[in-house]
Amino acid sequence: MKTITLAFTGASGMPYGMRLLECLLQSGIRVQLVYSQAAQIVAKQEMDFVLPSRPQDAEKFLHERFGKFSGTLKVYGKDDWFAPMASGSNPGDAMVICPCTMGTLAAVAAGLSDDLIARGADVMLKEKRPLILVPRESPFSAIHLENMLRLAHAGAVILPPNPGFYYHPQSVQELVDFVVARILDHLGVEHTLVKKWGE
């Protein structure tokens, strides 16, 4: 079973993160989830639900929200330094930060590792594992762009949530699914969210 670390931060774009989590769990992935306090605020503002602060409560809430799925879910606090993703001896197969704030992106670019999200990303880079950041900001400043370039040089994938319109989306959900499909493509996870180009 593939293991993927998923992190939510305080940028706008929680529908992307939640849909990605749902798709990973439905695809039989072992998901290690961690999120910031700011992500909890965004979840309430954008999706009208509360992400519990206690990992055990969060697991129960998400199991109830998504129903039955073939993957497994483990939630960690952002200061849980005993979590698997905190060490290069047990990094998992890939990590996605979705949505990713510019602050988190900067922390990863600088190698700060001051919480589990930044540390998990740092481990991915040093262990040469896939790291995908989904930055939701507009416009980008020169500092943002320089940090993204630094991370791209270090091996990360910078995947802004920019949906395409060539397939004539009819709903916000289809726009969300387009972005999630691109993330799943980079993770090597099969999906049927969007018809592939040329098919």
Res 61: pLDDT: 98
> What average pLDDT does the structure give for the chain?
97
Say which CATH superfamily domain 3-187 falls into.
Answer: Flavin prenyltransferase-like (3.40.50.1950)
Identify whether the C-beta of residue 98 lies closer than 8 Å to the C-beta of residue 13: yes
Which one-letter amino acid corresponds to residue 184?
Answer: L
Identify whether the C-beta of residue 41 lies closer than 8 Å to the C-beta of residue 16: no
From 108, 109, 117, 51, select the one nearest 79 (Cα to Cα).
Answer: 117
Identify whether the C-beta of residue 35 lies closer than 8 Å to the C-beta of residue 74: no
Alpha helix (H) ranges present in 67-115?
Answer: 102-110
* Structure tokens belonging to residue 102: 């510019």
Q: Does the predicted TM-score (pTM) go above 0.95? A: yes
- Measure the CA–CA gap between 120 and 33, rounded to whole angstroms: 11
> With 90 as the cut, is the pLDDT of residue 195 above it?
no
Residues 128-163 pLDDT 10s = 999 999 999 999 999 999 999 999 999 999 999 999
From 156, 48, 54, select the one nearest 100 (Cα to Cα).
Answer: 156
Beta bridge partners of 3: 30
